[in-house]
Amino acid sequence: MNTLRELLERARATLSPSSEDPLLDSQVLLAHVMGCDRSWLYGWPEHVPDTPQIQQFERLVAQRKAGHPIAHLTGEREFWSLCLGVSHDTLVPRPETEDLVEIALGLDLPPDARVLDLGTGSGAIAVALATERRGWQITAIDASAGAIDVARHNAEQFGLSNIGFLLSDWFAALPAHRRFDLIISNPPYIAMGDPHLTRGDLRFEPQQALVSGIDGLDAIRHIVDTAPAYLEPGAWLWLEHGADQGGRVAALLRQRGFGEVRSHRDLAGHDRHCGGRFDAPGPHPGRGSPP
């Protein structure tokens, strides 16, 4: 028989060798197919779904067994308590990126701040900031048209009108006169050939959103170099980076002339975010002058 209880039990056994939490994965996929909460599955353990629902569930379980991320199979992932659409064109939003949102909200930005989110992907950062600060004007850029479609859909589903989207390779299509109070980014930062890329969910996420040159820092170098041209005097740049890149990213920011450079650790205790303020170019009163 194909009762909910039996379907869950069979899926759990199928996923046991490969998945970290086979029961949770089975519940999430079955609830998705049934269009219900996970708790409903336990309220009606003897319910027998329709044949197409059973077939869809078995297809999803097979894809999960092959390694596909749960978020790609259900098409959604919770971020900042928002249920965001995701697709194969986007990175699956990670919990540590919520820290970047929190950092941005903690900066002393004006109520009508202009913010640029570079490499927005599913729009996670831009959408979270836009829901928290309705007065901010956010520009969200991505080089993938598929990602821009997903991000735009996410903004629309929350009725957000304070995000503008731009298909662009980093700053390339951004008009030269644009200035921002904050530039924020979770760019690709994994090194080419890193063995993590052949494991787990990373195998199925867009390489473009993950990998950035031999040391993983190509995108970050480009952003740090170019951002000052688009920042108001004293404005912020904040970046997510790899667990072992904190010192190098802080050094890049300082070399480019950023001040108040700060690092922030994730829950695992790794430096994960780094930011600084860019001063106005030109002479600094007092600096370098004789006593």
Helix and strand numbers (H, E) in the chain are 10, 9
List 5, 47, 68, 94, residue binding ligand GLN (CB under 6 A): 94
- Nearer to ligand GLN (CB atom), residue 80 or residue 189: 189
DSSP one-letter string for 189-255 = -BPTT-GGGGSGGGGGS-GGGTB-STTS-HHHHHHHHHGGGGEEEEEEEEEE--TT-HHHHHHHHHH
188 binds ligand GLN (CB under 6 A): yes
**Stretch near ligand GLN under the rule CB under 6 A, chosen from 37-45, 61-69, 187-195, 223-231:** 187-195
Quick one: which of 155, 190, 235, 237 contacts ligand GLN (CB under 6 A)? 190
Q: Across-strand partners of 267? A: none
Using the rule CB under 6 A, is 123 a contact of ligand GLN?
no
CB of 96 to ligand GLN, least distance (A): 7
Asked if residue 136 lies in contact with residue 159, where contact means CB atoms within 8 angstroms, the answer is: no
Closest approach of ligand GLN to the CB of residue 244, in Å: 11
Site for ligand GLN in 235-254 (CB under 6 A): 240
Q: Can you tell me which residue has the tokens 């993950």?
A: 210
Positive or negative, the CA dihedral 199, 200, 204, 208 is negative
Among 189, 230, 238, 278, binds ligand GLN (CB under 6 A): 189
Residue 185 sits in the site that holds ligand GLN (CB under 6 A) = no
Residue from 24, 166, 197, 210 in contact with ligand GLN (CB under 6 A):
210
Question: Which region among 12-20, 48-56, 129-137, 185-193 touches ligand GLN (by CB under 6 A)?
Answer: 185-193
Q: At 156, list the tokens.
A: 């629309």
Contact 273, 100 (CB under 8 A): yes
290 to 45, 280, 281, 283, 284: CA distances (angstroms): 81, 22, 20, 14, 13
Is 261 near ligand GLN (CB under 6 A)?
no
Q: Output the smallest distance, CB 205 to ligand GLN, in A.
A: 8
Task: Give CA torsion, residues 192, 194, 198, 204, to 10 deg.
Answer: -50
Question: Is 186 near ligand GLN (CB under 6 A)?
Answer: yes
Q: How many residues contact ligand GLN, by CB under 6 A?
A: 9
Please, which residues have CB within 8 angstroms of residue 77's CB and are 6 or more apart in sequence? Answer: 71, 83, 84, 86, 92, 93, 122
CB-nearer residue toward ligand GLN: 149 or 201: 201
Instruction: Summarize as ranges the residues that interact with ligand GLN (CB under 6 A).
Output: 91, 94, 186, 188-190, 202, 210, 240
